[in-house]
Amino acid sequence: MLRVILAEDSVLLRAGLTELLALGGHRVLAAVGDAPALLRAVEAERPDVVVTDVRMPPGLRDEGLRAALALRCADPALPVLVLSQYVATAYATQLFGGGSAAGLGYLLKDRVGEVEEFLDALRRVHEGQTVIDPEVVRVLLAPRPADDPLDRLTPREREVLALMAEGLNNQALAARLFVTEASVVKHAGSIFTKLDLDPTEGNRRVLAVLAHLRRAGARAAAD
């Protein structure tokens, strides 16, 4: 059982998420409707994980995201799962670009309808994994200009990178692709090399995704 604080301004969705989490065996310590209340609830309750919408009162812009960033700044180990109505690469860039991405997740709200998938994402974020919505990954891995490092990747490497971005470890990747773990390690090494990632960096899996997030940041308004 996870002790969860939920922040969502829609009363109906907040109630639905609260019930869904309870049915999944988790305890919702507080379900709030704005960013200031989220910050207060986390300080008071010290939850196992936070689930928050991006857009929340008082400004209905990115208050939920900024609250999530503030919480992670105060406690980098706090697991946070951010929900967004649509793919917004600027939000993803802000979320994952400020430090360690361990224990962070970014899901589209449509994914909540896939109950098992949503609960699995919550569990993985709590375990310290990085979870990025497959649709976000799809947008980021779409064809890009000729000088983009992604063009260096083979189709198989793109597939491996997409699954890495979803948070799968080598064992899960091997099972999904019906290959050996050694083959996954080989593909991953090739991806890191082609994306010019420093071999001394210990979190290159996340950086491989962040590279695309940063390049896509300028297109956020179109998203």
Statement to judge: residues 95 and 148 lie in one domain: no
Confidence of residue 200 (pLDDT cuts 50, 70, 90): low
pLDDT of residue 34: 94
Q: Are residues 153 and 212 in the same domain?
A: yes
Q: Tokens in use for 209?
A: 């995704």
Beta-strand pair 131-132/104-108? parallel
CA dist 190 to 74, 156, 157, 169, 174, Å?
A: 36, 11, 8, 16, 16
Instruction: Count up the domains in the chain and report the number.
Output: 2
Domain harbouring 94, CATH code: 3.40.50.2300
Dihedral sign for Cα 23, 103, 83, 124, please: negative
The model's pTM = 0.66
pLDDT tens per residue, range 23-65: 999 999 999 999 999 999 999 999 999 999 988 888 777 889 8
Mean pLDDT computed over every residue of the chain: 84
Residues 156 and 127 in one domain: no
Domain that holds residue 201: 138-222
